[in-house]
Amino acid sequence: MGGVFDPIHYGHLALAEGALEAFGFEGVLFVVSFDPPHRDQKPVVSFDDRLEMVGIAVKDNDRFMVSALEKDLELPGYTLNIVTHLKKKSPGAVWHLILGADNLACFDTWYKPDELVKHVKIVVGDRPGYTRESEKSKWLGHADRFGIPRLDISSTAIRESVRRNKSVRYLLPENVRRFIVEKGLYR
């Protein structure tokens, strides 16, 4: 499961846990984006802070792992590059790509999606407001869907709330919220 995680929140964690439960995966590898090529806007906080927030958020779940792989690769951070690297490192492993329905709706814009679906099976968790858009995606036939709790939480909204000095309690793990406060992130 890749992402900018700027910051990680309960929606991300529910998506990962939902995939574990629905498909019986051994674990979920959270790959933190170093320099996401698909976004015009760069991450607000540093890669190291985002990596640390993900580590803090998943530390109590022994089936969740965090990877800084994208920073270490000398390749653009396209999902295809990450997946092919992981498959080379673990040739016997079966990899799945966990997406929210919002990402399936825009999957056409990803780098070489036709090639990517040859390497991984896509699993898609429904997300409020995006189910109808993802239903229209030509990639739906390459995806297995699963339900997750309906949490309408976004990193963008969390960053804006922090900037405006509004509470973000109960939108993300408390230890991540404290990290944000202690480091003065998103101010």
- Domain at 54, CATH number: 3.40.50.620
Average pLDDT, the chain: 92
- Give the C-alpha distances (Å, rounded to integers) separating 131 from 5, 11, 150, 154: 22, 15, 11, 16
β 121-125/143-146 pair status: parallel
In a domain, 35, yes or no: yes
Long-range contacts, stretch 141-145, CB < 8 angstroms, 24+ apart: 142/117, 143/99, 143/104, 144/23
- Give the C-alpha distances (Å, rounded to integers) separating 7 from 14, 29, 77: 14, 17, 18
Do 79 and 32 form a contact (C-beta atoms < 8 A)? Answer: no
In a domain, 156, yes or no: yes
Sign of the four-CA dihedral 129, 13, 153, 7: negative
Q: Is the pLDDT of residue 98 over 70?
A: yes
Rounded CA gap, 23 and 33, in Å? 24
Per-residue pLDDT, 155:
96
Average pLDDT over residues 97-123: 92
In a domain, 120, yes or no: yes
Tens-place pLDDT, residues 130-177:
655 556 778 888 899 998 888 889 999 999 999 999 999 999 999 999
DSSP 87: H
Please count the structural domains in the chain: 1
Per-residue pLDDT, 114:
95
Binned at pLDDT 50, 70 and 90, residue 43 comes out as: confident
In a domain, 170, yes or no: yes
In a domain, 157, yes or no: yes
pTM for the model stands at: 0.91
In a domain, 36, yes or no: yes
Do 168 and 158 form a contact (C-beta atoms < 8 A)? Answer: yes
Rounded CA gap, 38 and 41, in Å? 9
Q: Side-chain half-sphere of 156: how many Cα atoms within 13 Å? A: 3
Per-residue pLDDT, 128:
63
Binned at pLDDT 50, 70 and 90, residue 76 comes out as: confident
Binned at pLDDT 50, 70 and 90, residue 61 comes out as: very high
Residue ranges making up the domain that contains 61: 2-181
Per-residue pLDDT, 23:
97
In a domain, 33, yes or no: yes
Per-residue pLDDT, 13:
97
In a domain, 186, yes or no: no
Rounded CA gap, 154 and 134, in Å? 18
